[in-house]
Amino acid sequence: MQGKRGLIMGVANDRSIAWGIARAMHEAGAQLAFSYQGDNFGKRVQPLAESLGSDILLDVDVTDAGYLSDLAPRMKAGFLQRDILLRPLGNTIYLMPPYCMTQDQLDRILTAIDEVLTEVL
């Protein structure tokens, strides 16, 4: 994941699945940004993000239906152009690859995610 960038959403504390994913991505060389919702979560996420060298923290209000509302269709179109069927859940890309997926297949999906996010953001 060297040179790849990612936005980690859903970190509640150091026991969150999202935190485990973030640590693994960081160890593999990814540069990460983190989102949180509200000051209480921000106070928990900030030290975790800083421990991985990230200073990009975004307060994202996911209860606002208009927030980034056109992003999901644009991401989906970008994935389909790359022959990958990956449907964002709202404005979130949630990836849980099956155990039978090869590393090359996973790398192809992660590369597509990086390309699409670079295009639409």
Domain membership of residue 80 (yes or no) is yes
- DSSP SS3 for 6: strand
The number of distinct structural domains making up the chain is 2
Q: Residue 35: give the domain boundaries.
A: 5-59
Domain membership of residue 64 (yes or no) is no
Tens of pLDDT, residues 65-109: 655 556 677 777 777 787 776 655 666 676 767 777 888 988 888
DSSP calls for 24-58: HHHHTT-EEEEEESHHHHHHHHHHHHHHTT---EE
Residues 12 and 46 in one domain: yes
Residues 55 and 85 in one domain: no
pLDDT at 4: 78
pTM for the whole thing? Answer: 0.55
Please give the residue that has the higher pLDDT: either 83 or 14: 14
Residues 82 and 114 in one domain: yes
Alpha carbons 81 and 33: distance in angstroms, whole number: 26
Burial 112-121 (b: 16+ CB within 10 A, else e): bbbebbeeee
Please give the structure tokens belonging to residue 28. 């593999």
Domain membership of residue 93 (yes or no) is yes
> Comparing C-alpha atoms, which of 67, 40, 39, 41 is closest to residue 8?
41
Residues 9 and 51 in one domain: yes
- DSSP SS3 for 70: coil
Domain membership of residue 39 (yes or no) is yes
